[in-house]
Structure 1
Amino acid sequence: MAAPYASFGLAPATRAGAVLADGDVQVHRDFMDFVVDGHPLLFRLSDLDAVSPLASDIPPAILTEQVRGLLLESDAPLPGGRYVIYGCPECADLACGAVTAVIQRDGDDFVWRDFAWQTGEHADLAFNGYHGIGPYRFAGAEYRAALAALLDGDRTAPARRRVLLIGARVALPARLAAALRTIGIGADIAEDAAAVPADELRAYGAVVFGTAVTEEQRSAVRRSFADAGVDVPHVDGLAPIVPVLVAQIEHALDGGPDGRRRLARLTATGAAAEVEVTSACRVRLTAYRVDRLHRTRAQDVFDGVLEPGAHRIALDAGAVKGRSCLVARAPGSVLAVAVRHREPG
């Protein structure tokens, strides 16, 4: 029986970078996701941290090679006519694992079938096949037009991956800038934006205010950006904790529509977190706080797959005592909030 027709498109997507509690980092990646029947294909894979081969930071020659492969204008890179649909965001090494599929022509149509998780040269459909995904039949004209548009330069402009850090203290902005550069986001530090040329202001994707920046300074910076004719998100730091600030910045840089973000809402009290997700996905919650000696404490308080909808997750009171924040991470999404504690009495 022939596969039913599905619509095909591409949409900008982001794999949010992160500075994790154990010191590891996740690199920020912008890429084009495959949209099948109006929904990102990646969202059908609930526990996958991956990007498509159509990443914005690869050289034009490699992007052309990837597009030509998906158009079947070059030989398949894997046996059995298999192509990588999603790969490791850090190194793109097949040994780390990848989602692959057979792509073939059927008349003027393109068919994607036999999706599988693959870590070696050959895929084992019996053990690692995604039996609930596909096959998909795409009309040739729509399929070719979407992919050819990438080579013609007719695609959404990539997000501005540079931020301006406004802060009176040198140590924290410097540590934050170093962390952002480690995950692939440029960062500049200034006490204000008055002397920054308008062309440079237009290159920033967000402006970040440190906790010690006064309201007068914030207003002056906002005026500078407004005078330059650029509208960027303004991030008010929740706490002097680098991983929390990185999470806030990653959320600000994600310019995608709300419907294409897996994390829709996050709130937290001293007793529980309320998390809402738009599709089944793995969610990790990490609590951060500063102790009496001004040391940062971090504790993972939840790590599991959540179904679409709202969820209430109990929190360890010790992990969120005092001034604390909660960071939620899902594939491609991140949210950070301050923990609200009940007033005494």
Structure 2
Amino acid sequence: MFYTYKSYQNEGLGILSRLSKQAVLSILLLGCSFGCQKGDDTSAPLSITSTNIADGATDVDLKSEIRLDFNEAMDASTLTTSTFVIQRGVKIISGTVTCSSKTATFTPNYDLEAYTKYTCTITTGVISATGNALDNVYSWSFTTGVAPDEIAPTVVENSPLEAETYVLYDSHITVKFDEEMDLATINTSTFLIKNDDVMVSGTVSLGRNKAEFKPNAELSPGTIYTCTITKEAADLAGNTIENQHVWSFTTIPETISFNEGIQPIFKAQNCISCHNASRNPDLRNSNAYNSLINGQFVDATNPEGSRIVEMLNGSYHKDFTTQKDKQLILDWIKQGAKNN
């Protein structure tokens, strides 16, 4: 038997040796078509592996893009606003869809609305680069949060007032904003006080929406000071003021003028409506000084004991004038109560 098998084997090799190379290659390929068939494709079907906004997420940023990742590279032409759909109720949100390999992104044309539920849908019309399609529609939803603060803060009040005169030497300078501010942005680099080009040293404190500058020393008499809140001052959301806020004031001169510093107090506080010809002291412009002096309302030897000072600090008059007004009148008396 051994010799018989060997003879057959030699005969077969002889036949192959007589065939052309092309014929041998054809025989080998034909054999592979039967004996080397490829098995069934066991790769995973097309699926979505993740989304940047989880299903059921809340407090989502109104400026969000919606992204998702597939398990294989996609045919970008099949990812459109018809196959990647974002809805608010039944309203379809306008936007654009882009695709890069396995990632698709929906960018809304406008910010999303606050406290609103949105539904995202990927249809079976999306196809991978190898031709695979989703077996089922894929949907998820999320809810947005509060609208971001993008409004610039503004200064609504400052003290001393713009162009105010006779400001006390020990005054603190304050500004009030229309919202709570970031303490880190309100300091001596953003809250500036100057006398010409000379910077006033001091400390800055902030309580919610009010900032206060406290000079390290008393201000100089009869001096114009310029105050500036720079554009770096920001609210808690990081919004800075649109324009720097600038104003100025003038401190009390070394010599207080009765006509320019004291008489205007009586007019501003409407003291003249009561204190006129029918009641002393007569504080009308032409009579005020003589009425105060001759009526013994002023005691230059004991300024704090002057009747006018006691009246202004009494229970009846205490709310008719400010602390600044009272201090000016007292200082005028201390300077000799001059008719100047």
User: Would the TM-score normalized by the shorter structure come out above 0.5?
Assistant: no
Higher fraction of strand? 1
More RCO (CA 8 Å, sep 6+)? 1
Q: Which has the larger radius of gyration?
A: 2
When the two structures are superposed, what TM-score results if normalisation uses the length of structure 2?
A: 0.19
The two structures have a TM-score, normalised by structure 1, of 0.19
